[in-house]
Structure 1
Amino acid sequence: MSDLETRLRRLEDRAEIQELLARYANACDDRDMPALAECFSVDFEFDSAAGHVIGRDAAMDYYHQRLGMYGITFHVPHTLVLEELDDDSARGVVTSHAEMEIEHELFVTAFRYHDHFVREDGRWRFRVRGVRAFYAMPLHELDGPLDALRLRWPGTEPKAAALPEPLPTWDDFQRAVKERRADR
């Protein structure tokens, strides 16, 4: 394959993966379970605060249960940064947010997916999705300072969010801010 053909193939792959993100969001919001299943490889794994599932069938059971808890939802993938892209596999980070009706109340959440993608049967699919949240709470609670306990799902005690505090870069930045203030 020529350099131009390789570069074109990579651009097409990126576009197809970007489309996969939109297909996933639409399938979740439309409750289109066959379309959602088509987004996952046969050996798909999903990891979230709610648990870890392995296999497309187990994932579909999980999604039936989780999506059944919500009224209207609106999932929005924002950005995709591919860290690796080979002929039939890729790895990247997707920033997203979602709005969900839970118990007649609007909840909002912002999160990152850490994804592994594979080309299976000629189509890009999720092989692994790991989701880590910045926050999840009723919309009315988002109007104010965000404390460490930003995961506030109904029926559970508030918990610390997975992002951004545990990131080494976050900690380094906060330390540098304190040092700059001390130097003034």
Structure 2
Amino acid sequence: MSRIEEELALQKLMARYVDAANRRDGEAWATTWAEDGCWNLMGMEVTGRDNILQLWQQVVAGFEFAILMPSSHLFQVEGERASGHWYLQEFTRDLQGEKFAAMSRYLDEYVKVDGQWLFQSRRYDFLYRGPADLSGDFTALP
């Protein structure tokens, strides 16, 4: 595959991830992860697709809804491995009715398995989480 085709395939991976998350389809969401993947969600780190899915289900259970909207991204592809990052906007309402807007970043490592890109590791960090009017605190990027 050409570099452009590889990058499009990585974009499609994120599209599958976001689509499944927004629909709350844990089974489809889990298929975007490598079997031995690692997810660092704001300091909580889990390894293995089944453990990653379990953590995601626990997190999602606390929300009436959560909508992810990915934006800019960059990739570095080297053969069957790649790295990159995504920026996201998120809008959520928890089970107590609290509404939040968030801006966040995923730092990613990807692996190609049987010709398909998967997430090998993801580190998720908030840049901002608070009222939609952006009156909360913002965390600067390292």
Secondary structure of 1:104 counterpart = coil
**Corresponding letter in the other structure for 1:98:** E
Cα distance in structure 2, aligned partners of 1:88 and 1:97: 29
Secondary structure of 1:23 counterpart = helix
Higher helix share: 1
Tell me the alpha carbon deviations over residues 62-102 of structure 1, each in whole angstroms, 9 at most, x when there is no partner. 001001111121101101111x2022110011111111111
2:8 is matched with which residue? 15
Count of aligned pairs: 141
User: For 1:50-65, what aligned pairs fall within 5 Å after superposition?
Assistant: 51-65=44-58
Query: What's the CA shift for 1:48?
Result: 2.1
Tell me the alpha carbon deviations over residues 15-64 of structure 1, each in whole angstroms, 9 at most, x when there is no partner. 01001111111111101111101100001111122511111010000001
Query: For 1:92, which of 81, 84, 90 is the aligned residue?
Result: 84
- Contact 1:46/1:52, CA 8 A, preserved across alignment: yes
1:46 is matched with which residue? 39
Structure with larger RCO (C-alpha < 8 A, sep 6+): 2
Structure 1: which 5+ residue stretches go unaligned? Answer: 1-7, 151-160, 168-184
Secondary structure of 1:135 counterpart = strand
Higher strand share: 2
Structure 2: which 5+ residue stretches go unaligned? Answer: none
Secondary structure of 2:63 counterpart = coil
Q: 1:51 to 1:116 in 2, by over 3 A?
A: same
1:125 is matched with which residue? 118
Report runs of 4+ in structure 1 exceeding 2 Å deviation: none
The share of aligned pairs that are identical, in percent, is 26
Q: Which structure has the bigger radius of gyration?
A: 1
User: For 1:1-184, what aligned pairs fall within 5 Å after superposition?
Assistant: 9-49=2-42, 51-82=44-75, 84-102=76-94, 103-139=96-132, 142=134, 144=135, 146-147=136-137, 161=139, 163-164=140-141, 167=142
Cα distance in structure 2, aligned partners of 1:139 and 1:105: 12
Tell me the alpha carbon deviations over residues 1-22 of structure 1, each in whole angstroms, 9 at most, x when there is no partner. xxxxxxx521111001001111
- Contact 1:105/1:138, CA 8 A, preserved across alignment: no
Cα distance in structure 2, aligned partners of 1:139 and 1:104: 14
RMSD: 1.6
